[in-house]
Amino acid sequence: MELICGKDISSEIRNQLKENLAQEGLKPCLAVINVGDDKENLLYIGLKENAVDTLGGETRIASLPQNAAKEEVLNLINELNHDQAVNGILLQLPLPKELQPYEQEFLSAIDPAKDVDGFHPVNMGRLVNGTPGFISCAALACMDISKRYKAPLAGKKVLLIGDSFDLIRPLALMFIKESCQVSVAPQYKSALMEGVDIAVIEAGGPHIVKASGIKEGALLIDAGFYYDQNSLFGNVDKEDLSKIDGHLLPVPGGVGPMLITKLLENLCMAAGMSLPDKNTG
Ligand SMILES: Nc1nc2c(c(=O)[nH]1)N[C@@H](CN(C=O)c1ccc(C(=O)N[C@@H](CCC(=O)O)C(=O)O)cc1)CN2
């Protein structure tokens, strides 16, 4: 399989965004709420901050301690909602265990007009009724790659593995809107791959996806992140798949950089920049 370079596609999009922002004289401001000191969260926040920086924008990182109270998070969200200088707000996930029961309450407290993650129930609902506002960045990333490599999408057989609210559920709706034949399954089995044109595999384990059962010419999007002794692995066994024809968006260097690029697009949209096609890729 030919490896798709998410970093190269991202740089192309980011350069265009930078140009458009300069033309429109906009400097977007992203507020990131981080609770605790999760190593991966801090890594991803750093990547987001660097990305916003390359556009000439500003990132405000609001950090709360691991033992922060529910009210502290809600007060912070409320403050950022009312701060005119802030265009986009996101709450980095996952939260510390003690706060996880309040996750939906926190996401619902973010002003939907600043919800650049697309996690607010209003934005989720708009996707369901076909009038999208902000859409989850991971789902936008997968749709962008699918349109680049598998257009026209109508009639294509799509398989989504997992059940996450930030990727699999919104993406299922987006593929349905493109008139695809969509199946969703909780776990990967090679038997599910028969005749599949596009597969997005979020759930599984390191290297569980092998060449067996995969249609020639298929597009595979790996959306699994497994760290082992500072090395990062995805669900797909790249070496085993190298013998068949098709395209793979791998981990690392695939959906991750594209997700951050889609966050930049959402942030630019929140700051008032016009995007060509509502950034659905
Ligand atoms: N509020 C949110 N929280 C989380 C989201 C999200 O979209 N919004 N998604 C994930 C994590 N995530 C962004 O926050 C994310 C994951 C991975 C990458 C990425 O670029 N990965 C690199 C590898 C990085 C490395 O280990 O050096 C890659 O795949 O090449 C970016 C963002 C959960 N939380």
Q: How far apart are CA 174 and CA 79, in angstroms?
A: 33
> Does residue 128 sit within a domain?
no
Name the residue of 90, 259, 261 whose CB sits within 8 Å of the most ligand 1 atoms, as the mutation to test its pocket: 259
Q: Give Cβ neighbours of residue 50 (< 8 Å, ≥ 6 apart).
A: none
Angle in degrees, CA 115, 24, 76, rounded to 5: 25
Q: Which of 194, 244, 192, 201 is nearest to 220 (CA)?
A: 201
The answer to whether residues 248 and 183 belong to one domain is yes
Domain boundary among 112, 146, 168: 112
> Does residue 199 sit within a domain?
yes
The answer to whether residues 181 and 85 belong to one domain is no
Q: State the pairing for strand pair 58-64/29-35.
A: parallel
> Does residue 90 sit within a domain?
yes
Complex ipTM value: 0.99
> Does residue 12 sit within a domain?
no
In this structure, what CATH number is given to the domain that contains residue 173?
Answer: 3.40.50.720
Atom index in ligand 1 nearest the CA of residue 136 equals: 7
What per-residue confidence (pLDDT) applies to 230?
A: 85
Spans of the chain below 70 pLDDT: 274-281
Distance from the alpha carbon of residue 195 to the mean position of ligand 1, in angstroms: 30
Question: Is-above-0.90 flag for pTM?
Answer: yes
Q: How far apart are CA 142 and CA 157, in angstroms?
A: 15
| For ligand 1, atom 19: residue with the closest CA | 256
> Does residue 31 sit within a domain?
yes
SS3 content of the chain, % helix, strand, coil (to 5): 45, 20, 40
The answer to whether residues 159 and 251 belong to one domain is yes
Structure-token match 């401001």, residue found: 29
| For ligand 1, atom 33: residue with the closest CA | 93
Domain count, the chain: 2
The answer to whether residues 104 and 146 belong to one domain is no
> Does residue 17 sit within a domain?
no
Atom index in ligand 1 nearest the CA of residue 263 equals: 7
What per-residue confidence (pLDDT) applies to 276?
A: 60
DSSP-assigned letter for residue 102: G
The answer to whether residues 152 and 232 belong to one domain is yes
> Does residue 100 sit within a domain?
yes
Residue 149 amino acid letter: Y
Q: What is the residue range of 190's domain?
A: 137-257
What per-residue confidence (pLDDT) applies to 169?
A: 98
Q: How far apart are CA 41 and CA 38, in angstroms?
A: 5
Going by the annotation, the residues of the binding site for NADP(+) are 162-164
The answer to whether residues 178 and 238 belong to one domain is yes
The answer to whether residues 88 and 143 belong to one domain is no
| For ligand 1, atom 17: residue with the closest CA | 256
- Identify whether the C-beta of residue 249 lies closer than 8 Å to the C-beta of residue 34: no
| For ligand 1, atom 13: residue with the closest CA | 44
Q: Which of 93, 148, 71, 120 is nearest to 270 (CA)?
A: 120
> Does residue 127 sit within a domain?
no
Distance from the alpha carbon of residue 155 to the mean position of ligand 1, in angstroms: 31
Distance from the alpha carbon of residue 260 to the mean position of ligand 1, in angstroms: 7
The answer to whether residues 94 and 154 belong to one domain is no
The answer to whether residues 95 and 143 belong to one domain is no
What per-residue confidence (pLDDT) applies to 265?
A: 97
Q: Give Cβ neighbours of residue 77 (< 8 Å, ≥ 6 apart).
A: 33, 89, 91, 106, 109, 110
- Identify whether the C-beta of residue 80 lies closer than 8 Å to the C-beta of residue 89: yes
Q: What is the CA radius of gyration of the chain?
A: 19
Instruction: Extract the runs of DSSP E, i.e. beta strands, from 202-249.
Output: 218-222, 226-228, 231-233, 246-249
Can you say whether the dihedral through the CA atoms of 219, 223, 228, 229 is positive or negative? positive
Structure tokens at 151: 């257009």
What per-residue confidence (pLDDT) applies to 281?
A: 45
Residue 257 amino acid letter: P
Q: How far apart are CA 130 and CA 126, in angstroms?
A: 6
The answer to whether residues 154 and 245 belong to one domain is yes
For 196-209, write each residue's pLDDT tens digit: 999 999 999 999 99
The answer to whether residues 141 and 238 belong to one domain is yes
Q: Which residues line ligand 1 (CB under 6 A)?
A: 43-44, 47, 90-93, 117, 137-138, 166, 225, 232, 251-253, 256-257, 259-260
The answer to whether residues 144 and 244 belong to one domain is yes
- Identify whether the C-beta of residue 114 lies closer than 8 Å to the C-beta of residue 79: no
Q: Is 184 exposed, middle or buried (0-12, 13-18, 19+ CB in 10 A)?
A: middle
Alpha-carbon 48 to chain mean position: 12
